[in-house]
Amino acid sequence: MTDEPKKLRAGVVGLGWAGQQHMQAYFDAANADLVALAGMEAEKLAELGDKYGVERRYADWESMIKSGDLDVISVATPTALHAPIAVGALNAGIHVLSEKPMAESGAAAATMVQAAKDNDRVLDVSFNHRQRGEVTALKEIIDRGRLGQIYYAKAGWLRRQGIPGLGTWFTRASLAGGGAMMDIGVHMLDMALHLLGNPEVSSATAATYAEFGPRGRGGSAYGPRANVDTKVDFEVEDLSTAFLRLDGGGTLLLESSWAQWIPYDQCYVALYGSEGGASIEWGGWGVEPYQRLNVWTEIDGIPAELQPIVPPAGHHEASVLKFLDKVQSGQFAEHRGEEALIRAKVLDAIYASAAKGTEVTL
């Protein structure tokens, strides 16, 4: 009879919505104990500490890391803090799960990967939308060869009105690194590349626009300063589009917006293969949301539309549980955040292309 692995002592830095998803996941996990929280909002820190029964509460992440007695840490802060916190934790021997995007630049993301290698720790990034049931089902179909050679893909996340906090860190380039593409477009980039089998991106041709944010318009209905015709500090884009060339000859068209004149929010990935096509779609408004997985192919020469069984979605909980499994597997060298680093470098190329008005090679 072997002893069960000890529970991993977990800490979370960041008290916002994403941080709270990580807290709940650690709290519910059978193989982890949530033992420490860090955040600058004193009232929220007290509230969440009481909710989860966490006695160790810190106003800053440095104090939490220096206190010791942590095995894993989640980083759910403004993007520009991801790399400093992750590197500090990794150097202290703590495994790290960072929220997306990995960092504000590929260079910053690379420091995180190097720290994971130097300290023999796990570095993971939470792309929670990859845990959707439709993605799991479609990935299995692709891996079985049902779509054949996929040569073209489209992916996008478009909001009617959803700039997350006008005038906050989300709209400041130095803190966020970018706007809609950095915030939500990265989810669709990750999802598309994951479904395609992670081909290398060879070049990017992109454009960015800021038509709503600078006028104080397009703010989320749940955030501050929504729909007001007042100029605000807005240093990023509210819409971005990119054409990516992939090794092997394939291409990916990517678009993302925080605000746009469309009927409702829309998210999609569409794949075109030699033996079939497929799409994942979700969006809509309020009481009329939609969520679809479509697969079109041919069986014995007869056009067919498949209806795959879709497993339940995992969301942030699945990201946290998979991270804990990676830590307990002991196979740290296989999980250094290098796949997420590739996403960060692609984002660099997208923004560089938009700034220069020309194609940028990776």
pLDDT in tens, 155-213: 999 999 999 988 889 999 999 999 999 999 999 999 999 999 999 999 999 999 999 99
pLDDT tier, 229 (very low <50, low <70, confident <90, very high otherwise): low
Evaluate if residue 313 carries a pLDDT over 90. no
- What is the bridge-based pairing of β-strands 72-75 and 95-99? parallel
Q: Among residues 325, 313, 318, which one has the least CA distance to residue 32?
A: 325
Once rounded to an integer, what is the mean pLDDT over residues 315-326? 96
User: Domain 133-312's class?
Assistant: alpha beta
Structural domain spans, the chain:
8-128+329-335, 133-312
CATH placement of domain 8-128+329-335: 3.40.50.720
Once rounded to an integer, what is the mean pLDDT over residues 80-103? 98
Evaluate if residue 225 carries a pLDDT over 80. no
Evaluate if residue 228 carries a pLDDT over 80. no
pLDDT in tens, 241-287: 999 999 999 999 999 999 999 999 999 999 999 999 999 999 998 77
Question: Please, what is the average pLDDT of the chain?
Answer: 94
**Strands of the sheet with 32-38, listed across from one edge:** 56-58, 32-38, 8-13, 72-75, 95-99, 123-126
Q: What pLDDT is recorded for position 156?
A: 98
Which of 216-225, 238-247, 350-359 shows the lowest per-residue confidence on average (mean pLDDT)? Answer: 216-225
Evaluate if residue 17 carries a pLDDT over 80. yes
- What is the bridge-based pairing of β-strands 32-38 and 56-58? parallel
Contact 126, 100 (CB under 8 A): yes
Q: What pLDDT is recorded for position 233?
A: 83
pLDDT tier, 226 (very low <50, low <70, confident <90, very high otherwise): very low
Total residue length of the chain: 362
Mention every residue, 6+ apart, whose C-beta is less than 8 A from residue 187: 100, 127, 129, 157
pLDDT tier, 224 (very low <50, low <70, confident <90, very high otherwise): very low
C-alpha triplet 124, 127, 130: angle, nearest 5°: 125
pTM: 0.94
